Amino acid sequence: MVEYENLGKLNKSFFSDYESAFKATLESGWYILGNQVNEFEKNFAKYCGTAHCAGLASGLDALIIALKAFEFKKGSQVILPSNTYIATILAAIQAGLEPVLVEPDINTYNIDPEKIRAAITDKTVAIVVVHLYGKSCEMDKITQICKEHRLKLVEDVAQAHGAEFKGKRTGSFGEFGAFSFYPTKNLGALGDGGSLNTNDKDLDEKVRMLRNYGSKVKYVNEVIGYNSRLDEVQAAFLSVKLKKLDQINDHKRKLARVYLDNIKEDFIKPVEHEDYFDVYHIFNVRHPKRDQLREYLLNKEIKAEIHYPIPPHEQLAMKGILDKGHYPISDEIHKTTLSLPISYFHTVDDIYQVTEALNKF
């Protein structure tokens, strides 16, 4: 059986380092906002090429707190991709903003800069881009649009830790890079976690207040805050894994290479371009008979997943919010996309097994 994902196997090589990290945290007697979080924040900011990083409780919280930090007028519009994971859209709604969906480029699956321009109104205050599947968006064009229209830029980097555009790491282009450390992500914890990275000292301070009951000094509350802190123990685990993040990404890129070189042209494969350093959180192919293909692979003991089966505008939760729009490109991607195994524990031989089966479909 070639599994799609197995978190035990993914983490196996880190077990003894995790045990030491856990023991050190346990014995320190300090479990919330201490040295482990400080140390991870310092190193992850450096890794991303940002001046600051604040550890948070999840990726969704990172997106909500980023949008809250700007203190936009209620009902302002925020532009988001129509084919993202639901969390990006939930964040806009939870922050009291109106989500405006923009279709992706069918080749990159990332938000189409030309279509962003068409969606800007006098109520638009921000753009949240999502570097989907581990590929950066076209950040030169997008930062230019933000400059021209004085819009804030938030990057949803939940799927793209370490990805680059023209040699610059994702999460360092916008006012905020919002990360998730959910266990399956390229930099995954052993539970929930997230962060907001920024080059703006004031925004960083704001986030640190918001994550901790709106308080800078204990029992002094300046703003309406949350409880959204990264745990010490998760930060300790993340510090172990951060040291191996490049190794994890290189391994995924090596597996992707096998797919890209061996899957025949009947399948639509991810595009490659010299401006992009892709980290393949997900390796997808598209095929008109996607559901049959998935079934066929399962019969050959290969598990594949769909990211995502239902587009956000078709979700019951979005009734009355997003269901008036038409998003044919998003619909097409959701109907035809299939994610193939590409975890850190998979071997090159596992991937050859998948390509062989695929090519016989």
Ligand X SMILES: *Cc1c(COP(=O)(O)O)cnc(C)c1O
When binding is defined by CB under 6 A, the residue of 45, 65, 87, 187 that contacts ligand X is 87
Phi, psi at 127, each rounded to 5°: -120, 130
CA nearest neighbour of 351 among 309, 304, 299 = 304
When binding is defined by CB under 6 A, the residue of 60, 126, 196, 236 that contacts ligand X is 60
Q: Say whether residue 88 binds ligand X (CB under 6 A).
A: yes
The three-class DSSP label of residue 142 is helix
> What is the DSSP-derived secondary structure letter of residue 341?
P
Q: Say whether residue 234 binds ligand X (CB under 6 A).
A: no
124's CB contacts (< 8 A; 6+ apart) are 76, 77, 78, 79, 100, 149, 151
Structural element, H or E, at residue 61 = helix 59-69
Q: Say whether residue 182 binds ligand X (CB under 6 A).
A: yes
Q: 10 is written with which tokens? A: 């993914």
**Antiparallel, parallel or unpaired: β 77-81 and 124-130:** parallel
The three-class DSSP label of residue 102 is strand
Q: 44 is written with which tokens? A: 């992850």
When binding is defined by CB under 6 A, the residue of 11, 25, 77, 84 that contacts ligand X is 84
Q: Say whether residue 85 binds ligand X (CB under 6 A).
A: yes
7's CB contacts (< 8 A; 6+ apart) are 183, 184, 188
Sequence letter at residue 181: F
With contacts defined by CB under 6 A, name the span among 54-62, 202-210, 246-254, 325-333 that binds ligand X: 54-62
Q: Say whether residue 59 binds ligand X (CB under 6 A).
A: yes
For ligand X, the closer CB: 58 or 212? 58
Q: Say whether residue 280 binds ligand X (CB under 6 A).
A: no
Interface pattern 184-203 for ligand X (x via CB under 6 A)? --------x-x---------
For ligand X, the closer CB: 88 or 198? 88
Q: Say whether residue 156 binds ligand X (CB under 6 A).
A: yes
Site size toward ligand X, by CB under 6 A: 15
Positions that interact with ligand X (CB under 6 A): 58-60, 84-85, 87-88, 130, 156, 158-159, 180, 182, 192, 194
